């Protein structure tokens, strides 16, 4: 008796093969259930059972009916999407550098290997608390424990929110978890240091100290003019370094702010439209600029007003250290004062002399008068109250 022929073995099922269960429901392989989205031409994973796939398909269709863009499950990592977001940004060089710094020092070390959908509100809130408590030590144990300010943490989180917004647009997540953080979970503002109220004596002491420093044998540059203009005109450091002689119209008695010199060594326009502005000049400053230009070896219209010995623009850090900080210390002024505080000296003078706060806001280049009010309203309220008191007591 001849032996029975052996049955040919059944072909093994490929683990990625689609097995339809009807109605668009099916599974890939043996355990992954999902459904087919005919509109998007893609398979959407739903769970490990047919019931889960049916429920997910119903919710998916309901969201489409409401005009929402249903989330498509994916294994895209945060790092992959972050790099795509970064390459798409069309911003200034300094802003892009700060984004790169935030990604490299905080966001990629913490979330780089995570799938985008895993970066939820709880994970973001934990990151914020870690940075408040330990600073960058929470990311890199070799760094010292140094809590970060609310503004620093917010700057680190800006690219995070941007990447998650891109994930929403690409239907990788349903909503941006950064936007649902409660006020308690967001970076907590510490008490803001009140603006220093400069006296005329302090201003004079600072400028006198700068003149003494310029007279020393080892002095490389006389920084007194840039400090004087900062106090008398209220310009930011980048705006001062961006000034060219063509920006100063002595006949019209106005200084035009149209550009700024960035830390990356580029001339750019101010960040906001309000930053492009006209600053009126009094008679004293008109005479000052006229004498300064006559004495300068670099006085062409396109030359910087505050130039180095070779005619180039001064460096931010040199002005901060060799000009302001050195003069501040020699004058015996509080060591917490920074170059930017000279804008407060300008504002203090304006408040004491009755300049309307709306006018001050425009001259300072604030995008909204509420910014000026938040910082300087105390000066104006007190000046107004004291003047009213004097008037009442004089009657």
For 225-264, what is each residue's pLDDT tens digit? 999 999 999 999 999 999 999 999 999 999 999 999 988 7
pLDDT at 291: 96
Q: Mapped to the 3 state alphabet, what secondary structure does the chain carry?
A: CCCCCCCCCCCCCCCCCEEEEECCEEEECCCEEEEEECCCCEEEEEECCHHHHHHHHHHHHHHHHCCCCCCCCCCCEHHHHHHHHHHHCCCCHHHHHHHHHHHHHHHHHHHCCCEHHHCCHHHHHHHHHHHHHHHHHHCCCCCCCCCCCHHHHHHHHHHHHHHHHHHHHCCCCCCCHHHHCCCCCCCCCCCCCCCCCCCHHHHHHHHHHHHHHHCCCCCCCCCHHHHHHHHHHCCCHHHHHHCEHHHEECCCCEEEECCEECCCCCEECCCCHHHCEEEECCHHHHHHHHHHHHHCCCCCCCCECCECCCCCECCHHHHHHHHHHHHHHHHCCCCCCCCCHHHHHHHHHHHHCCCCHHHHHHHHCCCCHHHHHHHHHHHHHHHHHHHHHHHHHHC
Count up the domains in the chain and report the number: 3
The predicted model gives 179-183 an average pLDDT of 90
**Predicted confidence band of residue 283 (pLDDT cuts 50, 70, 90):** very high
Most confident of 58-62, 325-329, 353-357, 379-383: 325-329
Q: Given pLDDT bands bounded at 50, 70 and 90, which one contains residue 395?
A: low
User: For residue 31, is it within any domain?
Assistant: yes
Say if residue 31 is in the same domain as residue 153.
Answer: no
Return the percentage of the chain with pLDDT > 90, whole number: 49
At 18, the pLDDT band (50, 70, 90 cuts) reads low
Shared-domain flag, residues 163 and 204? no
- The answer to the question of residue 347 being in a domain is yes
What's the pLDDT band for 378 if we cut at 50, 70, 90? low
Q: In this predicted model, what pLDDT tens digit does every residue of 26-44 receive, in sequence order?
A: 887 777 888 877 665 677 7
Q: Domain for residue 190, yes or no? A: no
Shared domain for 231 and 297, answered yes or no, is yes
Instruction: Judge if 387 and 317 occupy the same domain.
Output: yes
Same domain for 132 and 108? yes
Residue 224 belongs to a domain: yes
Range picked from 194-203, 304-313, 340-349 for highest mean pLDDT? 304-313
Q: Are residues 322 and 243 in the same domain?
A: yes
Q: The CATH number of the domain where 140 resides is what?
A: 1.10.150.130
In-domain check, residue 27: yes
Residue 1: inside a domain, yes or no? Answer: no
Tell me the residue range of the domain where 245 lies: 200-394
Q: Are residues 287 and 374 in the same domain?
A: yes
pLDDT value, residue 299: 93
* In-domain check, residue 57: yes
Examine the domain organization and report whether 135 and 91 are in the same domain.
yes
- Note whether residue 93 is domain-resident: yes
pTM of the model: 0.63
Q: Check residue 4 and give its pLDDT.
A: 63
CATH number of the domain residue 290 falls in: 1.10.443.10
Q: Are residues 272 and 353 in the same domain?
A: yes
């Amino acid at each position: 008796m001849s032996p029975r022929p052996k049955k040919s073995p059944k072909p093994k099922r490929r683990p990625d093969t689609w097995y339809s269960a009807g109605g668009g429901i099916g599974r890939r392989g043996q355990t992954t259930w999902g459904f087919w989205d005919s509109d998007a031409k893609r398979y959407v994973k739903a769970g490990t059972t047919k019931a889960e796939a049916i429920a997910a398909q119903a919710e998916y269709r309901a969201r489409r009916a409401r005009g929402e863009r249903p989330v498509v499950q994916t294994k895209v990592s945060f790092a992959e999407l972050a790099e795509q977001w970064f390459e798409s940004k069309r911003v200034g060089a300094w802003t892009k550098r700060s984004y790169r710094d935030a990604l490299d020092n905080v966001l990629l070390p913490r979330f780089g290997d995570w799938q985008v959908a895993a970066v939820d509100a709880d994970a973001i809130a934990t990151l914020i608390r870690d940075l408040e408590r330990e600073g960058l030590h929470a990311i890199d144990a070799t760094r010292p424990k140094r809590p970060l300010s609310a503004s620093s943490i917010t700057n680190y989180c800006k690219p995070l929110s941007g990447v998650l917004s891109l994930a929403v647009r690409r239907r990788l997540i349903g909503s941006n978890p950064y936007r649902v953080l409660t006020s308690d979970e967001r970076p907590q503002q510490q008490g803001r240091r009140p603006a220093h109220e400069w006296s005329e004596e302090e201003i004079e002491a600072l400028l006198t100290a700068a003149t003494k420093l310029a007279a020393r044998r080892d002095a490389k540059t006389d920084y007194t003019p840039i400090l004087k203009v900062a106090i008398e005109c209220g310009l930011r450091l980048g705006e001062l370094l961006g000034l060219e002689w063509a920006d100063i119209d002595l006949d019209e008695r106005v200084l035009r702010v149209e550009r700024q010199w960035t830390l990356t060594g580029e001339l750019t326009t101010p960040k906001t439209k309000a930053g492009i502005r006209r600053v009126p000049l009094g008679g004293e400053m008109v005479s000052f600029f006229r004498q300064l230009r006559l004495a300068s070896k670099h006085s062409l219209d396109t030359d910087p007003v505050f130039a180095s010995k070779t005619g180039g623009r001064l460096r931010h850090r040199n002005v901060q250290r060799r000009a302001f900080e050195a003069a501040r210390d020699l004058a015996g002024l509080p060591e917490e004062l920074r170059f930017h505080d000279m804008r407060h000296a300008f504002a203090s003078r304006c408040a004491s002399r009755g300049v309307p706060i709306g006018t001050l806001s425009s001259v300072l280049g604030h995008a909204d008068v509420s910014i000026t009010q938040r910082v300087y309203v105390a000066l104006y309220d007190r000046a107004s109250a004291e003047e009213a008191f004097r008037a009442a007591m004089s009657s």
